[in-house]
Chain A
Amino acid sequence: EPEVTQTPSHQVTQMGQEVILRCVPISNHLYFYWYRQILGQKVEFLVSFYNNEISEKSEIFDDQFSVERPDGSNFTLKIRSTKLEDSAMYFCASTYLGGLSSGQYFGPGTRLTVT
């Protein structure tokens, strides 16, 4: 069964450093998302991406964040200058359709630790 993959599974970085989190969505999916989950808290939407552009972003997704689909398979989230409060699990998700009934399939997550 096809699945969303994410690398790395765990990233440790120092405050102020740039990080790139990578995702490979399911191959025929058209809508891509990033979510984050601070330890012990709920999952929060960051950004959605369709047709090679951001379609929606949350207030969390400020100028420090960017997303890119550099080729036909990868979908990346970049944090330019990490802060301690960026420590969280980051999930990539994808779906074939953006409609209401389309279940979003999540990757296993990347645990980002900022020290």
Chain B
Amino acid sequence: AQKITQTQPGMFVQEKEAVTLDCTYDTSDQSYGLFWYKQPSSGEMIFLIYQGSYDEQNATEGRYSLNFQKARKSANLVISASQLGDSAMYFCAMREHAGGTSYGKLTFGQGTILTVHP
């Protein structure tokens, strides 16, 4: 079974509008972390935002916010006021505690390609 599922292979948004990228996850751990990374066409992986499973507030970082719904096991990324430079692949990832032996490996979803139109 997939641990991280991103159901949107591609998304389109008009510049200056908000967009939500979906991510659902599967874990039996109580303690885990959720991450979003951006991968522009140049290929590097840029860390955007983090949400801990025990965090009561949704994480925010500038124009990025994470809509965390623990009961539904979803961690959607919301990008407000989209810019042309936001066009990229976006990956959702999870780090599980794995009984205390996890050394922090990330499990990634398949990614969503976001295209921002002018």
Contact = CB atoms under 8 A, between A and B. Distances in A.
Please classify the interface of chain A as helix (H, G, I), strand (E, B), loop, or mixed, using the class held by over half of its residues. strand
B43 interface: yes
Interface stretch (B16-24, B44-52, B69-77, B80-88): B44-52
Pick the most buried of B102, B106, B111: most chain A CB atoms within 10 A of its CB. B106
A106 B45 contact: yes
Q: How large is the interface on A (under 10, 10 to 19, 20 to 34, 35 or more residues)?
A: 20 to 34
Interface of A: 31, 33, 35, 41-45, 48, 50, 55-56, 58, 89, 91, 93, 95, 98-109, 111
Interface of B: 31-33, 35, 37, 42-47, 50, 52-53, 91, 93, 95, 97, 101-111
27 contacts: A33-B105, A42-B91, A42-B109, A43-B91, A43-B106, A44-B108, A45-B106, A45-B107, A48-B104, A58-B105, A95-B104, A98-B103, A100-B31, A100-B32, A100-B33, A100-B52, A100-B53, A100-B97, A101-B50, A104-B35, A104-B47, A104-B106, A106-B46, A107-B44, A108-B42, A108-B44, A109-B43
